[in-house]
């Protein structure tokens, strides 16, 4: 047999064999770095991120044909990762107020801008579910609004509406914690 | 202070760089993105960030630990439908290696069934046409093979793929009446025999390509 990494599958449990890698290794090389980074970014905990990384790949393997045939597998699997982490954060009722205060304390003076990506991460929890995902696709993955519409199956006006919702919630949250920081209007994006 | 939260730039996007490096961009889009990335400081920073992501993954989640964790979660989670449950398990087991050339797999004569002592086994193929019994036609590359058993009163089954110089255990567990929970993909060449032992009885399916 040429290059099959199988050793034993017994009693309903799958075993990984040493040797040539196969599909999972290919997926690991191509997509796991981004998925792990996304999980670390959103969950901020290494152990949680490792666990989430495995969960995301379990989901991807269960939907393998859909994943492989997607026009953009990278976008597909990062959306799965984002969804998974946002769900975990919702379940834990992430304390965004405390995190926002911590970001404010990290600034040495009022003119120093807070870390942009950290601020986006903390502010996600202030917004409704759909707006959270659109915000990650726009501010983190840097997809255009048209690309977001394509990836999520939503219309362009809906994508714009979700971005405006996110910015509105974020602005409200910042008003108290960082009164000097102003966010762009939805129309400016 | 007006704060820019980021977002896509003109011709720039972290995802586009990610897709370029993953080989997902083709034709004009690929050429356009390559030309842009070569002269864009922001995209160069994204490339560095992606390289750091790769290093962090290798350092903190080596492949073996990752694969073992995924396989365990797949095995632990409840079984799903017939077609949903086998493919991920096989993939997690590192079974699937898709050859670039077309795979042709044929049983030596009868389509995939041998029986002895009232027991039988049959090989099914899942490909673009769906799930069907192994026939005499070619099997497309990437098709998964599944074993269906009628074990009679036997309690235990063990399936071994025998090829020149190598044997691979495909399954070793309860002799379920029906399709075994794991599927496999055969990436070898030449003759092979799938031997299925049911307690003391043996069922063989011969393969070649």
Q: Are residues A64 and A129 in the same domain?
A: no
Region of poorest pLDDT, from A44-48, A177-181, B177-181:
B177-181
Whether residue B16 is predicted with pLDDT greater than 80 in this model: the reply is yes
Taking CB atoms and an 8 Å cutoff, what residues of chain B touch A19?
94
- ipTM for this model: 0.76
Per-residue pLDDT tens digits for A120-134: 998 998 899 889 999
Q: For residue A178, give how far its alpha carbon lies from the nearest alpha carbon of chain B (Å).
A: 10
Task: Provide the terminal-to-terminal Cα distance of chain B, rounded to the nearest Å.
Answer: 69
Distance (Å, whole) CA B97 – CA A24 = 9
Residue A40's pLDDT band, with cuts at 50, 70 and 90, is very high
Asked if residue A13 is part of any domain, the answer here is no
Taking CB atoms and an 8 Å cutoff, what residues of chain A touch B195?
none
Distance (Å, whole) CA A180 – CA A169 = 16
Taking CB atoms and an 8 Å cutoff, what residues of chain A touch B87?
61, 64
CB contact under 8 A, A10 and B173: yes
Cβ atoms within 10 Å of B205's Cβ, excluding its own: 24
Asked if residue A4 is part of any domain, the answer here is no
- The ranges assigned to domains in chain B are 14-60, 85-208
Residue B120 or residue B21, greater confidence: B21
Q: Dig out the tokens for A67 from the structure.
A: 């994943």
The residue segments making up the domain with residue A175 are 96-183
Q: Are residues A64 and A133 in the same domain?
A: no
Determine the pLDDT at residue A7.
Answer: 29
Rounded to 5 degrees, φ, ψ at B78 are: -60, 145
DSSP B28-80: HHHHHHHHHHHT-HHHHHHHHHHHHHHHHHHHHS-HHHHHHHHHHHHHHSPP-
Closest Cα in chain B to A19: B94
Asked if residue A11 is part of any domain, the answer here is no
Taking CB atoms and an 8 Å cutoff, what residues of chain A touch B169?
6-10
Least Cα distance to B1 among A112, A69, A84 occurs for A112
Domain boundary among A93, A128, A146: A93
B181 DSSP 8-state letter: E
CATH label of the domain that carries residue A171: 1.10.10.10
What percent of chain B is predicted at pLDDT more than 90?
24
Determine the pLDDT at residue B86.
Answer: 37
Instruction: Provide the number of structural domains found in chain A.
Output: 2
Per-residue pLDDT tens digits for B17-67: 999 999 999 999 999 999 999 999 999 999 999 999 999 999 999 998 998
Domain boundary among A48, A72, A93: A93
CB contact under 8 A, A22 and B189: no
Least Cα distance to A118 among A33, A40, A35 occurs for A40
- Decide if A16 touches B, using CB distance below 8 A: yes
CATH label of the domain that carries residue A85: 1.10.1740.10
Whether residue B104 is predicted with pLDDT greater than 50 in this model: the reply is no
Whether residue B79 is predicted with pLDDT greater than 80 in this model: the reply is no
Top residue of B14, B17, B18, B191 to mutate, by most chain A CBs within 10 Å, is: B18
Asked if residue A113 is part of any domain, the answer here is yes
Q: Are residues A78 and A128 in the same domain?
A: no
Average pLDDT value over all residues in chain A: 81
Exposure pattern of B40-63 as b/e (b: 16+ CB <10 Å)?
Answer: beebeebbeebeebbebbeeebeb
Of the candidates B5, B50, B92, the beta carbon closest to that of A116 is on B5
Q: Dig out the tokens for B2 from the structure.
A: 């007006």
Determine the pLDDT at residue A15.
Answer: 36
Determine the pLDDT at residue B209.
Answer: 54
- Please give the average per-residue pLDDT across A108-120, as a whole number: 81
Per-residue pLDDT tens digits for B92-101: 333 322 222 2
């Amino acid at each position: 047999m040429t290059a099959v990494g199988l050793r034993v599958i017994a009693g309903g449990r799958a075993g990984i064999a040493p040797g040539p890698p196969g599909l999972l290794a290919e997926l690991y090389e191509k997509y796991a770095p981004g998925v792990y980074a996304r999980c670390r970014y959103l969950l901020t905990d290494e152990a949680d991120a490792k666990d989430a990384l495995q969960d995301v790949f379990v989901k991807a393997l269960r939907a393998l044909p859909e994943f492989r045939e997607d026009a953009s597998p990278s976008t597909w699997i990062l959306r799965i990762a984002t969804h998974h982490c946002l769900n975990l954060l919702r379940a834990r009722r992430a304390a965004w107020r405390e995190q926002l205060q911590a970001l404010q304390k990290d600034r040495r003076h009022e003119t120093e801008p807070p870390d942009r990506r950290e601020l986006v991460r903390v502010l996600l929890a202030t917004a409704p579910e759909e707006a959270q995902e659109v915000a990650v696709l726009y501010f983190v993955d840097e997809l255009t609004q048209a690309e977001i519409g394509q990836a999520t199956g939503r219309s362009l006006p809906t994508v714009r509406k979700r971005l405006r919702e996110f910015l509105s919630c974020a602005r409200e949250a910042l008003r108290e914690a960082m009164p000097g920081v102003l966010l762009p209007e939805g129309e400016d994006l | 202070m007006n704060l820019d939260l980021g977002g896509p730039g003109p011709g720039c996007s972290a995802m586009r760089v990610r897709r370029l490096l993953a080989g997902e961009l083709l034709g004009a889009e690929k050429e356009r993105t390559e030309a842009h990335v070569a002269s864009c400081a922001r995209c160069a920073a994204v490339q560095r960030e992606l390289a750091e992501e790769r290093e962090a993954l290798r350092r903190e989640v080596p492949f073996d630990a990752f694969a073992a964790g995924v396989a365990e979660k797949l095995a632990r989670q409840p079984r799903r439908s017939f077609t949903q449950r086998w493919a991920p398990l096989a993939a997690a087991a590192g079974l699937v290696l898709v050859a670039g050339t077309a795979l042709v797999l044929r049983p030596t004569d009868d389509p995939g069934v041998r029986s002895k002592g009232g027991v039988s086994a049959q090989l099914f193929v899942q490909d673009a046409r769906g799930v069907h019994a192994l026939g005499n036609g070619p099997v497309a590359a990437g098709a998964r093979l599944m074993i269906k058993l009628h074990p009679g009163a036997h309690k235990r089954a063990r399936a071994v793929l025998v090829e020149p110089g190598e044997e691979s255990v495909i399954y070793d567990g309860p002799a379920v009446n029906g399709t075994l929970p794991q599927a496999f993909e055969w990436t070898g060449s030449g003759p092979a025999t799938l031997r299925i032992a049911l307690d003391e009885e043996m069922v063989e399916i011969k393969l070649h390509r």
